[in-house]
Structure 1
C-alpha cells in the first residue's frame, strides 16, 4: 500500500463529536528532556499558519504533530515509536534512507514525503499515521493487530524531513483531526479541555532550548545538529572558550542571552535579538585565551530564551578544567 496516497488526499476535518477514541504518547522519550514538539497541526484556514494556541509552531498546511529529537546521535541510539491506540496495520514502508531532504534528493522523495512509516486503522473511522521512521526499523506487517504501546519501529530522518522526528497524523473518515484541539479545525485560541489524549495532554511549550555546550570555536550548524559540537571538557590551553546554545520555536523579537562564569567570575555576556521566526537556530559567544592557560576550576554556561521580557526557557552546562 502507498503511504503517500493517504497524505495527498486528506483535508482538515470539521469539528468531531465526542468519542471514546483516545491516544497514548507515541514515543519512548520525555518531553522537555530528550524530545520536544516542533510543529503542530495548522489551524489557519488561509495562506498563513498557526498552531491550536494561535502560536507559531506550525507551517502552511501542516497536517500532523512533529515529535522531535534534539540530535542525530539521539536517533542513532534508537528511540522507539509506539502505537498510539489499538488498531490494525493498514500499510508500511521501510526502505527509504535517513537523510536530510535537499534539492538533490527531491525527485527521489516526491510522492513519498512521509518516508518510512506505518498507517494504523482504528474503530470508528479513525486512522493514525507515523512518518519519517528509521530505515529498517519497522517491526509490524500489514494486517497485523497491534495494541496501544506496541513498538512499531524507531524515530528516523526519512522522507521530506530536516530533523529527526516522528510526524503523527490523526484522521477520521479521511479528514485530519488535531488531537490537541479536535473541535476547532479552522480556528485557534484557548487550549481545548477535551482532547484526544488519554489523560492530561502533552504540555504545550512555545519554544525552548534543545541543548548547549562548549567548544574552541563557533561550531558548524551541521555539527550541532549531529550532536558532536560539545567539546567538554576543554583543554587548559584551548585557544578560546566558546559557549553555544541550540533552540527551537524562535519568534522575531525573541532575545537569546548567553553567559559564562568561570573561576575568576564573569567571562562571557552576550545577547542576540532574532530578526525573524526560526524553527530551529543556534547562537554562540566566547572569549579568546589571553594568557598561557585558562584558570583551573568550573565554568558554567547559561542560555536564556526571552519573549516580551518573559523567560521562555533556560539551559545550563558546566565543565571543569583540572588543576595542572
Structure 2
C-alpha cells in the first residue's frame, strides 16, 4: 500500500483562508458554449427559431420577436437550402463533456415529405447528448443518418466533430436543433436566468453570442417562371432563362413580419426590366416572392442582367441578396 500524505491540521481561520481562493477560482470558470455548427451566422446559416420565452399559448423569442413557436425548447441553426446541407456541414460539441447517448438510424426525410417515417417520440431524429460539469447537458438533433462520429462514453472537447446536419426527426427545413439543460431543466442559452425583457441578457451561456437577426433573405435567383416552393427548399429553384422565356426574379426569406416589403429589381443591358415592391400581409417563418416579365417580341436583349432583392422593415433595408444572369445570342 502506498503512503498517503496528510498535512498537519490547521487552525480553522487558516483553513478558511486557504479555501476561499479555491472557491473564487471555481466561480471564474462558468459553463459556456461555443458555436455547435460549422457555419457563420448571418452569412451561410441563421437562427430560425429560439427558445419560446412566452409562458402562455403564444410564442416569442428572448428579444420579443416571433422567431419561435409555442413550446419550442431549443435553438435552431438553419441552413438556407437542402443543397447546402447535402454538401456536409459539421455539427460540433459546444463544450467539453462525455457522450451520454446517441441515435443514428433515422432517414433524412423532412416531415410532410413522401416517405417520412413515423416518429413515435423520436422527434429529435438522429442526434447526440453530451453531459458536462455542474449538471449541464447539451443535445444535438436532426443530424444526418450515418454521420455520427462519436460513441457513448467517449470524452469530447469543445469544437470536436460529432457528425453532420441532416433532415431527420421532426424537421421542416435543414437545421441543427441545440437544447441546453441543467439538472434536467431546459435553458435558453441567450437568457439562462430567464430575466430578459425584450433584449439581450447581460450574461449568456455563449463564449461569443451569435448576433440576433430578426429575419432576412436566405436565397435569391432567376427562373423562367415562378418557382415551386419545394425547389426553393431544395436549393434548385435557380433555372435556365433563355432569350425567349419569361424572366423571373425570386427571393426566399425567413422571419418575415406583417408590414414588411420585399422589393425586387432587375437591371438589364437596356435599362430596368422589373421594379416591384411586394408587401407581406402576415408574419411567416418562411416565405418567398417572385416578380418578372414575359420575353418581349424578338426576345430579351443579349447581355448581363442583375437582380437585387431587398427585404424592407419599417421602410429600411433589413437584408439584401443579388443574383446575376447572362443572356447570349
With the length of structure 2 as denominator, give the TM-score of the two structures: 0.89
3-state SS of 1:286 partner = strand
Measure how far apart 1:49 and its partner are. Answer: 0.6
3-state SS of 1:44 partner = coil
Over the aligned positions, Cα root-mean-square deviation in angstroms equals 1.7
Question: Residue 93 of structure 1 aligns with which residue?
Answer: 103
The 10-residue stretch of structure 1 (100-109 or 305-314) with the greater mean CA deviation from structure 2: 100-109
Measure how far apart 1:18 and its partner are. Answer: 9.0
Change (3 A) 1:101 1:19: farther
Where do residues 233-248 of structure 1 align in structure 2 (5 Å cutoff)?
Answer: 234-237=241-244, 239-248=245-254
Question: Residue 164 of structure 1 aligns with which residue?
Answer: 174
Question: Residue 25 of structure 1 aligns with which residue?
Answer: 35
CA distance in 2, matches of 1:249, 1:53: 13
Measure how far apart 1:258 and its partner are. Answer: 0.9
CA distance in 2, matches of 1:18, 1:256: 47
Question: Residue 210 of structure 2 aligns with which residue?
Answer: 202
Which 4+ residue blocks in structure 1 deviate beyond 4 angstroms?
103-107
| Structure 2 spans left out of the alignment, 5+ residues | 1-26
Question: Residue 78 of structure 2 aligns with which residue?
Answer: 68
The answer on whether the counterparts of 1:208 and 1:313 sit within 8 Å (CA) in structure 2 is yes
Change (3 A) 1:308 1:124: same
By relative contact order (CA 8 Å, sep 6+), the higher-ranking structure is: 1
1:190 aligns with 2:196: no
Where do residues 68-217 of structure 1 align in structure 2 (5 Å cutoff)?
Answer: 68-102=78-112, 108-184=118-194, 188-198=197-207, 200-217=208-225
Question: Residue 274 of structure 2 aligns with which residue?
Answer: 268
3-state SS of 1:131 partner = strand
Of the candidates 262, 265, 276, which is equivalent to residue 259 of structure 1? 265
Question: Residue 48 of structure 2 aligns with which residue?
Answer: 38
3-state SS of 1:109 partner = coil
With the length of structure 1 as denominator, give the TM-score of the two structures: 0.90
3-state SS of 1:27 partner = coil
| Structure 1 spans left out of the alignment, 5+ residues | 1-16
Q: Deviations over 1:69-119 (max 9, x none)?
A: 011111111000000000000000001011111297787113000000000
CA distance in 1, matches of 2:118, 2:101: 20
The answer on whether the counterparts of 1:85 and 1:122 sit within 8 Å (CA) in structure 2 is yes
Change (3 A) 1:18 1:194: farther
Q: Number of residue pairs matched?
A: 303
Change (3 A) 1:106 1:317: closer
3-state SS of 1:183 partner = coil
CA distance in 1, matches of 2:134, 2:302: 65
CA distance in 1, matches of 2:262, 2:168: 31
CA distance in 1, matches of 2:278, 2:133: 50
Q: Deviations over 1:21-68 (max 9, x none)?
A: 000111111112211110000100111111000111001010000001
CA distance in 1, matches of 2:63, 2:247: 39
Measure how far apart 1:310 and its partner are. Answer: 2.2
The answer on whether the counterparts of 1:51 and 1:188 sit within 8 Å (CA) in structure 2 is no
